[in-house]
Amino acid sequence: MYFQLFFAIDRIKALAPQHPEWKTEQPFKAVLENDMKELTKQGEHGILRLVMATHAGNTTDEFEAIENGWTVIDMKNDWKVIYPFELKEPEH
């Protein structure tokens, strides 16, 4: 689940030039401004909006090409630089 969110955040940033309305519309605005507190306030509904915006409208082959081109960050070295918020383990 975490990587889906990270992928969606990166895709929102990549797709933003095609969607100027995202500059003023939550949860997209929070992503574009790196405002993780506001993104957290958007809750599950906000996260689902991000995932839908970044995952819908592509064929399977198109999505696979995008996904294969996505770079996974070095969790030990790059985490705090790229995603300045704390990752918490899910409760069981």
For the stretch 2-22, pLDDT in tens is 677 888 888 899 899 999 999
The reported pTM is 0.69
pLDDT value, residue 65? 74
Asked if residue 57 belongs to a domain, the reply is yes
* 89 located within any domain: no
CA separation for the pair 8, 12 (Å, rounded) = 6
- Look at residue 92 and tell me if it is in a domain: no
pLDDT value, residue 11: 87
Q: Which long-range contacts (CB under 8 A, 24 or more apart) does 45-54 make?
A: 47/5, 47/8, 50/5, 50/8, 50/9, 50/12, 51/4, 51/5, 51/8, 53/8, 53/11, 53/12, 53/15, 53/28, 54/7, 54/8, 54/11, 54/12, 54/15
Q: Which domain holds residue 45?
A: 2-82
The total domain count for the chain is 1
**pLDDT (0 to 100) of residue 77:** 52
Tell whether 62 is covered by a domain.
Answer: yes
pLDDT at 8: 86
Domain assignment present for residue 48? The answer is yes
Domain presence at residue 9: yes
Low-confidence ranges of the chain (pLDDT < 70): 1-2, 69-92
Distance CA 4, CA 15 (A): 16
- Structural domain includes residue 91: no
87 belongs to a structural domain? no
